[in-house]
A and B are shown apart, each in its own frame.
Chain A
Amino acid sequence: RKEVEQDPGPFNVPEGATVAFNCTYSNSASQSFFWYRQDCRKEPKLLMSVYSSGNEDGRFTAQLNRASQYISLLIRDSKLSDSATYLCVVNQNDYKLSFGAGTTVTVRA
């Protein structure tokens, strides 16, 4: 089983729509969870950390379900600028992070 698995998409949505997707992780001992964003031919950048109680940052909401070992990301009121690949990231130990292959989101006008 892969350490982190994501639906690759692509999710093609109109501006203003809501889009949501999940990722699953295999290591039940993982303690830190993140969503990173990667634009085409650019480096990944942190979008948000994911906390046990769930957290929100503007139009972005992240949820963690430890029992089922999945993380979700929801984007409300999608903007054209939200088009990117979203990487689910989970720690394996104190220094190792595992990255999913990414979920591609394309927001159309």
Chain B
Amino acid sequence: ETGVTQTPRHLVMGMTNKKSLKCEQHLGHNAMYWYKQSAKKPLELMFVYNFKEQTENNSVPSRFSPECPNSSHLFLHLHTLQPEDSALYLCASSQDSLAGGASYNEQFFGPGTRLTVL
């Protein structure tokens, strides 16, 4: 497989459930990202990992818990979510540039997980 893959593609869960989203990148990149995209709103950065170390946590509620076991895999563990957490969750990866960090280079996105919280 190539590019960035995400599973599952669709997820419906109750507020008391625990689930995990998975992302895998086959591009050899060192940085991975979780974004939330709600209808009519900009993509919101949630977490950034660089070489498995978390470099950004954009004030995300603790009911979202990221895990990055290696540079190719990223998880988002979900528990006791709220209906307003329903959104498209996108994973992305990119590579450090000579200019500095990975924000100078293209980000490659996965297809996303469409999450519905009942």
Residue numbers of A with Cβ under 8 A of B are 4, 8, 31-32, 34, 42-46, 49, 87, 91-102
Residue numbers of B with Cβ under 8 A of A are 31, 35, 40-43, 45, 48, 50, 55-56, 58, 90, 99-104, 106-107, 109-112
Q: Is the CB of A97 within 8 A of B45?
A: yes
Q: Is the CB of B109 within 8 A of A43?
A: yes
Q: Is the CB of A93 within 8 A of B42?
A: no
Closest approach, in angstroms, between the C-beta of A32 and any C-beta of chain B? 5
With A8-B40, A46-B106, A93-B101 known, 14 other A-B pairs at CB within 8 A are A34-B106, A43-B112, A44-B109, A92-B103, A93-B103, A94-B101, A95-B31, A95-B48, A95-B101, A95-B103, A96-B58, A97-B45, A99-B35, A101-B41
Q: Is the CB of A96 within 8 A of B48?
A: yes
> Which of the residues B31, B43, B50 comes within 8 Å of A87, measured between beta carbons?
B43
Closest approach, in angstroms, between the C-beta of B47 and any C-beta of chain A? 10
Closest approach, in angstroms, between the C-beta of A31 and any C-beta of chain B? 7
Contacts of B99 in A (CB 8 A): 31-32
Q: Is the CB of B110 within 8 A of A43?
A: yes
> Which of the residues B41, B50, B107 comes within 8 Å of A97, measured between beta carbons?
B107
Q: Is the CB of B103 within 8 A of A94?
A: yes
> Which of the residues A8, A34, A96, A101 comes within 8 Å of B45, measured between beta carbons?
A96
Q: What are 24 inter-chain pairs, A to B, with CB distance below 8 A?
A: A4-B42, A8-B40, A32-B103, A43-B109, A43-B110, A44-B109, A46-B106, A46-B107, A87-B42, A87-B43, A91-B104, A93-B101, A94-B103, A95-B31, A95-B48, A95-B50, A95-B55, A96-B45, A96-B48, A96-B56, A97-B107, A99-B43, A101-B40, A102-B42
Contacts of A96 in B (CB 8 A): 45, 48, 56, 58, 103
Closest approach, in angstroms, between the C-beta of A87 and any C-beta of chain B? 7
Per the bound structure, the CA–CA distance linking A46 and B95 in Å amounts to: 14
